[in-house]
């Protein structure tokens, strides 16, 4: 790629983002990361009624949890003068025109067209109004909305995901770019910002495919040279239902609060519904090196929360100590790398490390099923120093002395030493427990 890409994620701060929104953010960020490009977080906050500052902050927090660090943050509400200038330019070119129909009038008109077997597209009646008719409508108190006049042409582009694509704009209604109150819909600000911010690649959901043809025409009218577009498949929940910010379905905040690993959420969001197998990753750079937009399927992809939790555990099992050291410190869990390597293979969530730290350091209630066997085990317990070979040497002597093997040999020791039916390999855990605590537990003293 000759030019380093500039991409953007443009959420509206009208609710908390869900994993489907995060999929778009991740695909853009990973694409830029792999190609040495830049990622812009751009808030589409021109909806004055629904946009909230607390939602903007939560989006930044959710992206940070996923590991996404924007190179630049922009707010469309601070760029209204740029959109006004673009609108005036389009008006002067005859490409943006006023229309006065109410929503009810437009709905009735569409129904009449459908009844006559005609496509329900806007008939451009507003273009036929005389100056006197427009003045009369405005005298009645009507304010116009503004429509972009589409050229009746086929717009073609080479989609980054779907390959050669096209839309016949003759089959589309002239889109509304500005509302009656003077605020702008998404379409015009998006084009203006993409052009002025140097965006080279627009990666977004397939629900924007038709909008792409409109935006390419606006690019051509205002500046020429549209960015490249890619439209990825959408995520649904496990039952096939669509995701919504309004319902909070699979919100990033809820996933974070439930204890799943951010890397697992990122990997499943990116790799599900693609030709690449879902697998745990140790870093976003690892994910960036392996993913390919062209590997995404063209059908909806189901995001299964049960699969996420399994992947989250598998992710913990491969993470090096350096990747979790600060988080363990935040949980008040000490023990360093040796402790982490001993317990990580048995974790479902990072918070479970606190339980295993108590097993190593704290007072537990040993489970004693065979006191005589445990007394013999205590008598044969090696002197320190201990390492990972201690467990094998000790149980080897016990096997010789008692004739026990398999579960009959190992299970009573685990119950006494940890108070648990299952857990990390005792070869790794025993040196962390230490000889004094091990003796106390074998002798059925709480320690």
Rounded distance between C-alpha atoms, residue 260 and residue 300, angstroms: 23
Question: Within a 10 A sphere around the Cβ of 106, how many other Cβ atoms?
Answer: 16
Task: Say if residues 164 and 156 touch (Cβ distance below 8 Å).
Answer: yes
Q: What is the pLDDT at residue 445?
A: 65
Q: What is the CATH number of domain 371-442?
A: 1.10.10.350
**Architecture category of domain 1-92+152-169+180-319 in CATH:** 3-Layer(aba) Sandwich (3.40)
Domains of the chain, residue spans: 1-92+152-169+180-319, 321-361, 371-442
Beta pairing partners, 271: none
Residue 2: predicted pLDDT: 57
pLDDT for 354-370, tens place per residue?
A: 999 999 998 899 999 89
Phi, psi of 408 (to 5 degrees): -60, -30
> Among 36-40, 164-168, 300-304, 434-438, where is mean pLDDT lowest?
300-304
* Confidence category of residue 247, pLDDT binned at 50, 70, 90: low
Checking if the pLDDT of 246 tops 80, the result is: no
Among residues 107, 144, 141, the alpha carbon closest in space to that of 129 is found at 144
Q: So what's the pLDDT on residue 155?
A: 97
pLDDT single digits (tens) 28-59: 999 999 999 999 999 999 888 889 999 999 99
Residue 194 sits at the vertex; the CA angle it makes with 189 and 197, to the nearest 5 degrees, is 115
Q: Which pLDDT tens digit goes with each residue over 250-264?
A: 899 999 999 999 999
Specify the pLDDT at position 1. Answer: 53
pLDDT given at position 47: 85
Q: What is the pLDDT of residue 300?
A: 84
- Say what the pLDDT of residue 290 is: 85
Average pLDDT (124-141) is 96
Taking the C-alpha atoms of residue 115 and residue 100, their distance in angstroms, rounded to an integer, is 23
Q: Which of 55-69, 246-260, 295-309 has the highest mean pLDDT?
A: 55-69
pLDDT for residue 238? 87
What is the pLDDT at residue 48? 82
Sign of the dihedral through C-alpha 415, 417, 419, 421? negative
pLDDT at position 244, please? 79
Segment 209-217 shows an average pLDDT of 96
pTM here is 0.90
| Mean pLDDT to the nearest integer, 319-344 | 96
pLDDT: which is higher, 104 or 300: 104
Fold match, 1-92+152-169+180-319 / 371-442: no
The pLDDT of 78-89, averaged and rounded, is 97
Is the pLDDT reported for residue 447 higher than 60? no
| Residue 82 pLDDT greater than 90, yes or no | yes
Average pLDDT (196-217) is 96
User: Is there a contact between 23 and 270 (Cβ–Cβ < 8 Å)?
Assistant: yes
Mean pLDDT of 232-241: 90
Which value, to the nearest 10 degrees, does the dihedral of the CA atoms of residues 115, 121, 123, 125 take?
Answer: 100
Q: What is the pLDDT of residue 229?
A: 98
């Amino acid at each position: 790629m000759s030019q380093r890409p500039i991409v953007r994620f443009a959420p509206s701060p009208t609710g908390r983002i869900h994993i489907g929104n995060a999929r778009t953010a991740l695909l853009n960020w990973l694409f830029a990361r792999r190609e040495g490009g830049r990622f812009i977080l751009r808030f589409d906050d021109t909806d004055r009624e629904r946009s909230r500052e607390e939602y903007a902050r939560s989006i930044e927090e959710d992206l940070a949890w996923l590991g996404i660090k924007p190179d630049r943050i922009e707010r469309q509400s601070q760029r209204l003068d740029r959109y006004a200038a673009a609108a005036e330019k389009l008006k002067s070119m005859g490409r943006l025109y006023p229309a006065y129909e109410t929503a009810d009038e437009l709905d009735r008109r569409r129904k009449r067209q459908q009844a006559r077997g005609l496509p329900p597209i806007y008939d451009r009646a507003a273009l036929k109004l005389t100056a006197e008719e427009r003045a009369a409508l405005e005298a009645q108190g009507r304010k116009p909305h503004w429509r972009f006049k589409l050229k009746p042409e086929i717009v073609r582009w080479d989609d980054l995901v779907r390959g050669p694509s096209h839309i016949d704009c003759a089959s589309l209604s002239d889109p509304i770019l500005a509302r009656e109150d003077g605020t702008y819909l998404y379409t015009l600000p998006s084009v203006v910002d993409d052009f002025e911010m140097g965006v080279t690649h627009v990666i977004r959901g397939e629900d924007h495919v038709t909008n792409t043809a409109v935006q390419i025409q606006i690019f051509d009218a205002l500046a020429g040279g549209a960015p490249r577009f890619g439209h990825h498949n959408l995520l649904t929940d496990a039952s096939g239902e669509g995701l919504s910010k309004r319902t909070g379905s699979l919100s990033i905040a809820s996933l974070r609060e439930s204890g799943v690993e951010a890397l697992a959420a990122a990997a499943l969001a990116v790799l599900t519904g693609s030709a690449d197998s879902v697998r745990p990753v140790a870093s976003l750079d690892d994910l960036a090196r392996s993913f390919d937009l062209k590997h995404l399927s063209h059908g909806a992809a189901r995001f299964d929360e049960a699969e996420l939790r399994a992947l989250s555990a598998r992710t913990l099992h491969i993470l090096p100590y350096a990747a979790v050291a600060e988080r363990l410190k935040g949980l008040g869990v000490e023990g360093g790398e040796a402790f982490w390597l001993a317990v990580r293979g048995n974790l479902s969530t990072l918070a479970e490390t606190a339980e295993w730290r108590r097993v190593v350091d704290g007072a537990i209630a040993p489970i004693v099923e065979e006191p005589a066997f445990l007394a013999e085990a205590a008598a044969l317990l090696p002197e320190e120093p201990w390492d990972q070979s201690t467990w094998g040497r000790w149980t080897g002597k016990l096997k010789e002395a008692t004739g026990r093997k398999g579960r009959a040999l190992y299970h009573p020791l685990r119950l006494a030493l940890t108070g648990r039916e299952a857990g990390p390999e005792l070869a790794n855990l025993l040196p962390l427990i230490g000889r004094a605590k091990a003796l106390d537990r074998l002798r059925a003293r709480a320690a």
